[in-house]
Amino acid sequence: MPERPPPLRIGLSARIFHPEPGATGIKTKTLLVLEQSVAQWAMTRDLLLLMVPTVVRDGELMRSNIRLRDYAKYLDGLILQGGADISPRIYGEEPLKPEWEGDSVRDAYEIELVHEFMEAGKPILGICRGMQLLNVALGGSLYQDLPTQRPDAAHHESGHYDRNSHPVRFVQGGVMADWFAQSNTGKVVSIHHQAVNRLGRGMRVEAVSAEDEVIEAISWEGNSFVCGVQWHPEFHTQLPVGEGLLDCSPLLENFLEAARQKA
């Protein structure tokens, strides 16, 4: 029998939970978290998923000689998962409210990851916050809060969390319009109050909200796969059939095909 090819090695950026003032036990520690749904979505294909750790600045742990650049050389691709807001200070603004200050430690860690993977020519897929991070890493900016700064916007998050959805429309001529040619439109799970404002260098719009034109997907025009979606494809397969949610298999397949070409 022919030898089975080795599985792809895909990195997943970590969510960071910082020590809580006045806490006891595990909450006094810095926690790096891999969100199960996005991991399981990626692992529906033949791959090994590895969380890429970081060291909190001024923390107790010391860096070894291993750098994020070494992960970019070893791994075949990178997924940036969702989570906390991005700090407006990263794109030259002050937070309009204290609760929108974001996580500058995670921002710096993931921006370094993005630049290292791009320099290595390895594919990157950003999900929700991950898409916003890609845009900011390339010099773009965000709306800090859609209800405040875009009062015409539809509801992009609600108390229903992963049950909140809205339709998207793919931009003709974009790569995603080709990937999703069988559907062209569909509903997506939406859990965000920030959104892309000014596009980063070399970024193009791939999809928008059909209800208010808020940017919902972007890609890089450079020579490697760098793509982000504002929605959560990992939740689409977990919700009841019949809700009209977009089949996001083409997104995962094209990302992994790009990774195979670099493996």
Decide if 155 is catalytic.
no
pLDDT at residue number 56: 45
Say if residue 118's pLDDT is above 70.
Answer: yes
Q: Which candidate in 192, 232, 236, 248 is catalytic? A: 232
Decide if 234 is catalytic.
yes
SS3 244: coil
Contact by Cβ (8 Å): 156, 215: no
Within a domain: 138 = yes
* pTM of this structure: 0.93
Domain of residue 243, CATH code: 3.40.50.880
Full domain range(s) for residue 37: 8-262
Mean pLDDT along residues 182-188: 78
Within a domain: 194 = yes
pLDDT band at 49 (very low <50, low <70, confident <90, very high): very high
Within a domain: 3 = no
Within a domain: 25 = yes
Q: Which candidate in 110, 116, 128, 206 is catalytic? A: 128
Any idea which residue has 């070893």 for tokens?
Answer: 74
Within a domain: 1 = no
pLDDT at residue number 207: 96
Q: Which amino acid is at 127?
A: I
Decide if 128 is catalytic.
yes
d(C-alpha 238, C-alpha 224), whole Å = 31
pLDDT at residue number 249: 93
CB atoms within 10 A of CB 7: 14
| Overall domain count for the chain | 1
Any idea which residue has 């539809």 for tokens?
Answer: 154
Any idea which residue has 């921006």 for tokens?
Answer: 111
Within a domain: 74 = yes
Q: Which candidate in 110, 234, 236, 248 is catalytic? A: 234
Nearest to 190 by CA among 224, 219, 153, 221: 153
pLDDT in tens, 230-253: 999 999 876 655 568 899 999 999
Within a domain: 2 = no
- The CA-CA-CA angle for residues 138, 140, 146, to 5°, reads 140
